[in-house]
Structure 1
Amino acid sequence: MNYLLDDHNFFIFDDVNVRISPVSKMPFRKKPSDSMHIVQICLWIIDSGCLMHMTGNRALLTNFVEKFLGTVCLGNNDFVVIAGYEDVVIGSKTIKKVYYVEGLGHNLFSVGQFCDKGLEV
């Protein structure tokens, strides 16, 4: 028996003839096939108000140099510690001198730091 709930499209199935297939009979792959590839997406926010490139993801940094470099004030007026720096390599491109800010939830690409190198945006 099906009961219609209010004006929504929800139904409650109260019928012994409705069965869910056991998990053991459901098809699945035991291991990824050779044609499957893992793609890492690395999103960077282009920030014109950010003075330096920053990330909270230490795994992105190659040859990380751990060194206290001071603090930085974020847009929400929180102060956070700059705990080190290094380059980030994404494919064939390298972003030089990216600061590691523990707890930062985003990767910030500084327009100012980019322009200071004589590059155009």
Structure 2
Amino acid sequence: MVECYPSQLNQAIMNLLSNTIDALEESTANTTPQITIRTFTSNDNWIAIAIADNGIGISEEIRSQLFDPFFTTKPIGKGTGLGLSISYQIITQKHNGKIDCYSTPGQGTEFVVQIPVRQVMYKIA
């Protein structure tokens, strides 16, 4: 069992999956598009969800801007540049978690979401 805001976490994961699908559709690689989803415990107090693809990958320059509001690599009318920014906020601010992106151009991309099993609520006196 994991303490979380299920609908918000679902939105964050769906944003990641949607971007993964879009990236694979734009890929010109001669391989069969593939998405791999793994869940695991990163230690006793954290769970992780990893979403990986075998697309064209993301350069370091673009990776450094991925979670910025309104940043997009999609054509005009295709995206707002808010999906990953919203996902980042949901994971880091609402769930006290973290999200990382690992990618090598030409070899695919993996997003790893980690959230604590228990949410610690702090009371301000």
TM-score by length of 2: 0.24
Taking CA–CA contacts closer than 8 Å with sequence separation of 6 or more, which of the two structures ends up with the larger relative contact order?
A: 2
Decide which structure has the larger Cα Rg and report it. 1
TM-score by length of 1: 0.25
More strand by share: 1
